[in-house]
Each structure stands twice: as structure tokens, then as C-alpha cells.
Amino acid sequence: MVGPSMAGDQPLPHRSCDLTLNPKELLGSTVLDNASAIGLFLRNPADVEAITAGYRALRRSRGLWTAPIFSGPLMPLAGDELIDAFLLRLSCDLMIVSGDDQLRQLEAMTSLWPAELKKPRLIATGFCFPAIPPTPPSPKPMLVALLQHDIPTHLGAKEQLIRLLQRWGREQTDWTVVLQPDHPWSSARSFADDQINNPPNVVEAAPEQMLGLLSRCTACLSVSSPWSLAAMMWGRIPIVVGDYGIQAEQHTTNFFGCGAMHRLRDLGGLHKLQELPLVNQGWLEAMGGGIEDGPLRLLISLDSLSSGTTAP
Amino acid sequence: MNRPLKLLLIADSDSQLLACEALCRCQTARPVEFTINVIPRDGTPQHILQRMGHLGTLWRQNLARLLNNPKLLQFDAVGVFLTGSKLNDIRIALERHQQRPKLFCGFNGVVLEHFVEGISWRLGYDLICLSGPRDRDALNQLVAKTPFAQQQTVLTGLQRNGTIEALSPAGQRPKRLVFAEQVVMPSSARDRAEMVKILAELAIRSPNWEVLIKPRITPGDATFHDVDTHISTTLSQTLGVPPVNLKLDYRPLPDLLRKAPLMATISSTAFFDALDFGCRPIAMNDLGLHASHGSHVFAGSGVWRSLRDVPNLDELEQEHPEPNPEWLNWMGYSERYGAGDLFEALENLKPASTTGITHCGYPTNTQSSFNQLRVGAEAAICTGDWRGAADLLTQAAQMRPQHRGVARRVAAVSCQNPLLRRIGLILSYRDLG
């Protein structure tokens, strides 16, 4: 595993890189010489094209074969976001998407494209977290609120959401409300403007606790965090906040049809959460939840690509 | 049986009006009486309004006045060609009536972006008009396994000009390439300058041809998109003095297309109009494959090609470029799809529902429009439903906590003292149109 050093605390358990290197510096190193396949998962997917072009040009100039390059968004996307993600990876040999829904949409879009227009082979590999929750749910009711960095986008809306969660916590002291960042956390800053306002049962979690808490929670609330899919997969009660509409800007288009979108004013408080339905299983499966052998599918596809034109 | 179908069409921006015009021009055996309400808006092109006036009764009422017009209920069906929350305003206003006209809405032309949001605004309409199988497949995939799976749709196609009489053969037309400009495709100044440069070079390589750029709007006209720099400015800034055979031409597009053998565009719906007028269209691919240009849709057209690589327009004309028929059908350009199907579908629809759409876990954008929440709260205030008004305004405040108007209104309706509440409501009142 090669990558740049990560800034800030990550929301996932720490895993060290074998080599800390900026992706563009890879081209000048010998790291790629013995790679059988290269996966590019970059913060800025616009860099994918430059790296694939550079890698292939260097290898060909030395008369060497080129390893298949694969990439893909690590979260299920829909609509314009999915199309953008695909177009940024046209130079790859293989693109992985999460589910059959994404596969169908991209295949329909490209089915009549001219043969000379190069495009990656597509496969669906499911989600990037385990299908089975690492721990059983907590016996005491717990809501994990996944707080996103930039969403909701309206000025002050995230703070407003936190104030509402604090109020719910005060009203239902038998529940624990966890404010959990779903993104790297660069400082020990508190979510709540005034932490004194946090009742004892409203707590702020450290970033690396996210997956553990999602597996132990009773319910998971989020505007559009892709990590809420983990809670959905693990059978927890999902609440996708529908107050901000189904808008690309809020990334809520990715959750259209999930069956777990609610307006906060309809919920009324924590005590009502356990009456809410689980996720629309048909939707979840089409988004990738029905795929259990994603890594195997990837390896088989890479093997077939390696035995094709790019093989030594 | 022969009673004419009475339709009201509601539109505001120019592209919506063009969609309505296409419906009105549909030649069908069924008698249809059109009333078109054009919501007053600065910059609506006068020539379109004049044309609309010849196709039916023309109304110019704003939404608030229109929704209170008792004549609204006398139509058999109301077609809404508006965007976002305005789609909701009309649907919700009509659903308050026990017996209401059937409601349909359209997506204009080729949908290149925001399909999911667009569908979310439209769910709950009795009928959604789509262009072709591409749109229908996408909608079906989106609503599959949801409570909206039964949403009714009809394909009205992209043959918007009906049968055109007396078209002259391409060989007898003046040697002209019409370029259908779009205001935001591409949107960056750099790409727009590049586009103009490529057209100028093509004009220089083809001295016996005219390259006519048809601007989407005249300077000062309004369209759905905000435009910073008109194409005439881009032209002069990029080229200084353009080649003599490269010109802007503001004549109506149909007039240009019927007298030209070739047209080009990045991704305009005019591509399909060109086919109606016997003009061969080309989708220009020189700016690459970008979703924001709509090029991912036109890449399958069979005529997505580089104008930079065209030696000259004589050679391009001799190639007889033809769009891929399979792609045309997929997009909706086929005699199989037309506005006649809409009229038939409207007659076959079951009586309109007055219940609206609410499914636990599946809110549409109907329940999430900031404007709709405010309008709904005002309706609740009118009936003295302070709790209902406070609920709606609280959600609006949740969406935009820093909106002072909403914050003041919440404070006013939440006031327990009737006198103070009354004063608060007077002080915080805003006309929402």
C-alpha cells in the first residue's frame, strides 16, 4: 500500500502505509516495476488520468508491459456524481462501482459509444466494509449521528442539527447520542459551540471509533454520509435526514429510494426512532449490499485483463 | 367524444415555452384547445410570446394569481413546464380541490443533468412527460422497489416540429453550417473561446461556405441559466475581427435550419430540430468528454466528431454523416413518440387523486422545498393553525438557520399571547409571490 501521509485523525482504524509517497512521485520510483495491477484511489480523482498516462508512457518507452490500472469511487454514487466519477476514470482499464444499479446506469450510458472511444471495463464489487458487524448492538439505546464536514451546506445548518440532537438527548435520558465525525478530524475541536450545553448523555466520539460505534448503535442518523450504509447493512435503524431535499449539493441524491429518509419534525424525538422502518432492502442490494464476493470479482477481472493486451 | 380536450400549459422560461410550443403544434386528429399561461418574467423573448399567441389563448398571470383563478378548475388537464418548487406549488394548490384537472409535467428536450433531482420534484404528478426510452429506463431504475414504482409516464419524443412541408433538398441549399450555441455548454470562458476559435478556423478552411452561429439568446434576453458573457462578446474578444464567412445570425432557428445542409452543436436539442428540417447534424467533440457539456449523451450519436479534424465543409458534406438510428430512437427521436400519445394518455388516466403522495421513509422534494414550507406556513396562518405553521417554519429554519425572515415568522406564530402574535405577524409579513 502506497500513499501520501494522511492529515488529521481518520474516522477509520489506523492502518499504516507500506510506503508514504505522493502518487505523482510514484512514476519516478521503482515501486510500480513489479506491480501486477495498480489500484488508484486518490483524493482528487482528476489526477487519475495524468498518472495512468505517465505510467504507461514510461513503461512503453522502456519496452515493458503495463499492468492493468483500476480505480473507482469508494462509495455508492448516483446520477451526475456517478457520471462524473466514471468520466474521470476513462483512462483506467477497470473501474469498480458498488452495485448493479451503478453498473446498469453506466452501461446504458455508454452502450452506443463508438468503439474507438476508450472506456474502462466495469464491475460491481459491493461495499468497502465488512458485511457482518464487528460487534453486536448495545443493549442500551444509542443513536450515532454521523456529522459530515461540509453537509448540510446551508450556513449554520449543521450547528442547528446538533442543537436539535442535544434537545432530543435532554428529553430522553435513557438514550445515548453520539456525535461522530465521518471525516478526518484535524483538531480536538468540539462539534457543539458550547460543550456545556451537551447533556451527559450526548457525547462526542473520536474519529477512529466510527465503525465500532456504527456496529453497536441502535439507530444511525446522517444527512448523506456514505458510512450510514454500514449501519444499514448491519441492520441498524437508519435515519437519512430529508429536510434538505434530494439535492446533488447535499449528496442526498445518492439515497433516493432508500426508504429511510425522514424529516426531523416528523420524528419528534428519540423515543420514536425504534418505530421507524429498516432500509429498503431491494435498494440496498442494488446499491451493492447484495454483493459478498467483491474482492474475488476484482481479482478475476484483473486476471482476465492481465492475460489480455497488457500482459508481458 | 368530439369535445375538445381543454389544456392549460404553464411555463416561464424560454426553453419551457419552446416545449409548450411543440405540444401546441402537434398535429393530431383529436381536437385540443390550448391556453398558455406565461408567467411574467423580465427578458422573456417577445417573438416566442407572439408565436404562442397564435397557438392558443395567451394568459400572463403570476403564480399566486393563477392559483386563485377559478377558471383553473375548468380545464381537463394542466401541464406544468416549470422548475423545482413551482412544480409543487401548483400540484399542492390543485390537490386541495375535490375535483381537479389532471396534472402533467414535462422535462424539456434532452435531459443532460440533475435527473434525480428533477424526478424528485415531479413525483406525484398524474403523468410525467419524458422524451424517450433513455429517460424512461432511467426513471424506472430510480423508482424500482419504491412506492413510486407505479408513477405514470408518457414518451412525447424529440420530433418537436411535426411534419415540415416543402423542404428543399440539401444539395439545393446555400452552403451553410449553422452552429446552435448554448449558454452554459460549455460554461468556462476558456472553453467558449476555444469553441469559437475552432469554428473560425473551419470557416477559414471552407471559404465557399458560411458558418452561422445562432446565439441561444439575444443580448439582454433572459433564459433559465445566468449568463455572464454573451456569445457576441466571446466572438469579438477571441477573434477580434472574425473571418468574413463566420457570422452571428439571430433569425429563428427553423428559418436557418431549413436553408442549411449542415448544423453543429455541443449538445443542444436543436440537433433534433435539424433532422426535422432536413439538415444534417454533427455533435462537436473537440472539447472532450465532460458531463457538464452533455457530451456523454451525444457521444453515442454516431456523429460525435471533431470539427478541428474536418478538412473543410465540402468534404464533411460529401460524407453524408448520419446519426445512429438506434441512438435516435433511444433518445426519443422517432415517429413512435409524440405529443399525440400525451393527449391519449390524459384521456385514459383514472380520475385525478386528491390525496397527494406521502410514504414513510420516502419524502420527495415536495416536503423539502424551503419556499414550499413558507407558503404552506402562510396557508396555515390564514386558517389560524398556529401549531401547523410553527412546524413548517421550524423546518424551514432548520434548513436555513440564518434566514431572518423565517426566524421572525417562527417567533411570531409561536407567541402564545394573541395580541402579541397578531402584532408579530403584521411586522414579520412578507409577500411570497
* CA gyration radius, chain B: 24
Most A CBs within 10 Å: which of B296, B324, B410, as the mutation test of the A interface?
B296
Smallest Cβ–Cβ distance between A277 and the set B115, B142, B360 belongs to B360
C-alpha closest to that of B272 among B339, B338, B337, B331: B331
The DSSP string of A230-262 is HHHHTTPEEEEE-TT-S-GGGTGGGGTT-S-EE
Smallest Cβ–Cβ distance between B142 and the set A87, A117, A257 belongs to A257
Contacts with B330 from chain A: Cβ below 8 Å = 112
Query: What's the mean pLDDT in B316-320?
Result: 94
Q: Which amino acid is at B332?
A: G
Q: What is the pLDDT of residue A265?
A: 80
Segment A235-283, tens digit of pLDDT? 999 999 998 888 888 999 999 999 999 988 888 899 999 999 999 999 9
- Asked if A277 reaches chain B (Cβ–Cβ under 8 Å), the answer is yes
Q: Is the pLDDT of residue B26 over 80?
A: yes
Segment A196-218, tens digit of pLDDT? 678 999 999 987 889 999 999 99
What are the residues whose beta carbons fall under 8 Å from the beta carbon of B226, sequence distance 6 or more?
Answer: none
Query: What's the mean pLDDT in A86-115?
Result: 96
Q: Is the pLDDT of residue A311 over 50?
A: no
The helix or strand, by DSSP H or E, that contains position B35, with its residue range, turns out to be strand B32-38
Most A CBs within 10 Å: which of B107, B110, B111, B116, as the mutation test of the A interface?
B116
**Inter-residue contact B38 to B12 (CB < 8 Å):** yes
List strands edge to edge, sheet with A261-262: A202-204, A176-181, A142-147, A219-222, A237-241, A261-262
Q: What is the pLDDT of residue A188?
A: 54
Segment B324-363, tens digit of pLDDT? 999 999 999 999 999 899 999 999 987 666 555 678 888 8
Smallest Cβ–Cβ distance between B368 and the set A80, A244, A280 belongs to A244
**Inter-residue contact A238 to A208 (CB < 8 Å):** no
- If contacts are CB pairs under 8 Å, which of residues 51-70 in chain A contact chain B? none
Q: What is the pLDDT of residue A8?
A: 55
Tell me the β-bridge partners of A226: none
Q: How far apart are CA B355 and CA B226, in angstroms?
A: 37
A286: which DSSP letter? I
Greatest CA separation for chain A = 70
Q: Is the pLDDT of residue B225 over 70?
A: no
ipTM of the complex: 0.89
Q: Cβ separation of A265 and B398 shorter than 8 Å? A: yes
Contacts with A261 from chain B: Cβ below 8 Å = 361-363
Tell me the β-bridge partners of B124: none
- If contacts are CB pairs under 8 Å, which of residues 213-232 in chain A contact chain B? none
C-alpha closest to that of A76 among A55, A90, A96, A58: A96
Q: Which residue has the higher pLDDT, B114 or B111?
A: B114
Size of interface A-B (CB pairs under 8 A): 136
* Percent of chain A at pLDDT exceeding 90: 66
Query: What's the mean pLDDT in A227-233?
Result: 96
Burial of A54 per CB tally in 10 Å (0-12, 13-18, 19+): middle
Q: Cβ separation of B363 and A242 shorter than 8 Å? A: yes
Shortest CA gap B364–chain A (Å): 7
**Inter-residue contact B332 to B157 (CB < 8 Å):** yes
Q: How far apart are CA B14 and CA B12, in angstroms?
A: 7
Cell for B433?
Answer: 409571490
Q: How far apart are CA A16 and CA A296, in angstroms?
A: 24
List strands edge to edge, sheet with B153-155: B57-59, B32-38, B5-11, B77-81, B102-106, B127-130, B153-155
Q: Which amino acid is at B221?
A: D
What are the residues whose beta carbons fall under 8 Å from the beta carbon of B246, sequence distance 6 or more?
Answer: B199, B200, B203, B210, B211, B213, B239
Q: Is the pLDDT of residue A114 over 80?
A: yes
- Asked if A304 reaches chain B (Cβ–Cβ under 8 Å), the answer is no
Burial of B293 per CB tally in 10 Å (0-12, 13-18, 19+): buried
Contacts with A114 from chain B: Cβ below 8 Å = 299-300, 302, 304
Q: Cβ separation of A112 and B326 shorter than 8 Å? A: yes
Place of cell 457482518: A132
What are the residues whose beta carbons fall under 8 Å from the beta carbon of B131, sequence distance 6 or more?
Answer: B107, B109, B110, B111, B155, B156, B157, B158, B331, B332, B337
Q: Cβ separation of B395 and A282 shorter than 8 Å? A: no
Q: Which amino acid is at A201?
A: N
Q: Is the pLDDT of residue B1 over 60?
A: no
Shortest CA gap B114–chain A (Å): 7
**Inter-residue contact B283 to B305 (CB < 8 Å):** yes
